[in-house]
Amino acid sequence: MNVLVTYLVIALGSALGGVARYGCGLLAVALWGATFPWGTLFVNIVGSFVIGGFATLTAPDGRLYVGPLGRQFVMVGLCGGYTTFSSFSLETFALLQQRPLAGASYIGLSLVLCLLAVWLGHALARKANE
């Protein structure tokens, strides 16, 4: 029963996260065009920031208590469904073939900005926990 509820909560979070990612992707193409995968870059940065902050805010010594199910909903469901490594990989492969410099920039930007974002989320949450 517990396992079933966990899976349902993760399914719900992933569905919401996935639809939000889809919306951001469409919006990014409308705003900035499709020559560079801005949409995927954006969702991966935002999702990394949110998971970094939420993980620290809801840690055992954190300020916010949400319980294991709440953590799974937000971290595994929402953030996991919102961000994507498969689209990142496909877009990287396509860019590397057509415009190697753009492909290398996409890898570098994704890694640096997502890791900075998860660290920033964590650091801000740690301040908030004090």
Partner 1 sequence: MMGVAWVAVGSALGGMARYGLSGFVANRIGETFPWGTLVVNVSGAFVIGLLAALVAPAGALPGDATVRQFAIIGLCGGYTTFSSFSLQTLNLARDREWGRVFGNIAASVAFCVLAVWAGIALGAFMFGG
Q: Please report how close the Cβ of residue 60 comes to partner 1 at its closest, in angstroms.
A: 15
Phi-psi region of 67 (alpha: psi -120 to 50; beta: other; left: phi over 0): left
Tell me if residue 84 falls in helix, strand or coil: coil
**Does 58 contact partner 1 by CB under 8 A?**
no
CB 45 within 8 A of CB 52: no
- Site track for partner 1 across 63-102, x = CB under 8 A: ---------x--xxx-xxxxxxxxxxxx-xx--x------
95 to 40, 77, 99: CA distances (angstroms): 14, 29, 5
Closest approach of Cβ 8 to partner 1, in Å?
9
Interface contacts to partner 1, rule CB under 8 A: 6-7, 10-19, 21-22, 25, 44, 47-48, 50-52, 55, 72, 75-77, 79-90, 92-93, 96, 107, 110-111, 114-115, 117-119, 122
